[in-house]
């Protein structure tokens, strides 16, 4: 399980409550777990950041209201459920040309 990405969210985990809203319940799509080793990317449709929530049932941090959707280039994109519904509907495929680019990681230190 991923470590808490933000101390402000930790009370949800500590008191055992589930920070996922009812509309975040399983709609047939896989939940998107917060990555252990990387910062989550923004929604590939609208470009906005995802809220992070504690899934008490699974005992892990997830991107709230996020789903992984197939793209016509054979990859998958993480998007808000509402963005998916507006663009391609449930069970649809996103067009790669219409997606917000994945941000590049900041450059690392350069060798002298």
Task: Give the pLDDT confidence score for residue 91 in this predicted structure.
Answer: 86
The answer to whether residue 109 is domain-embedded is: no
DSSP state of 25: S
Average pLDDT over residues 85-99: 91
| φ/ψ bin of 48: left (φ > 0), alpha (ψ from -120 to 50), beta (otherwise) | beta
Residue-wise pLDDT tens digits, 12-64: 443 333 444 444 444 556 678 887 766 778 999 999 999 999 999 989 999 99
- SS3 state at 62: strand
The answer to whether residue 22 is domain-embedded is: yes
The answer to whether residue 108 is domain-embedded is: no
The answer to whether residue 102 is domain-embedded is: no
Per-residue burial over 94-106, b if 16 or more Cβ lie within 10 Å, else e, is beeeebeeeeeee
The answer to whether residue 55 is domain-embedded is: yes
Range of the domain at 83: 7-92
* CA 53 – CA 15 distance, rounded (Å): 13
How many domains does one find in the chain?
1
* CA 108 – CA 104 distance, rounded (Å): 11
The answer to whether residue 107 is domain-embedded is: no
């Amino acid at each position: 399980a991923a470590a808490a990405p933000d101390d402000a969210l930790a009370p949800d985990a500590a008191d055992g409550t589930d920070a996922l809203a009812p509309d975040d319940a399983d709609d047939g799509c896989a939940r998107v777990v917060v990555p252990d080793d990387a910062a989550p990317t923004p929604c590939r449709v609208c470009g906005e950041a995802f809220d992070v929530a504690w899934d008490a049932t699974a005992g892990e941090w997830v991107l709230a209201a996020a789903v992984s959707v197939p793209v016509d280039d054979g990859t998958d994109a993480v998007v808000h459920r509402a963005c998916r519904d507006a663009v391609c509907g449930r069970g649809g495929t996103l067009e790669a040309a219409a997606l917000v680019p994945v941000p590049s990681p900041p450059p690392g230190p350069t060798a002298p």
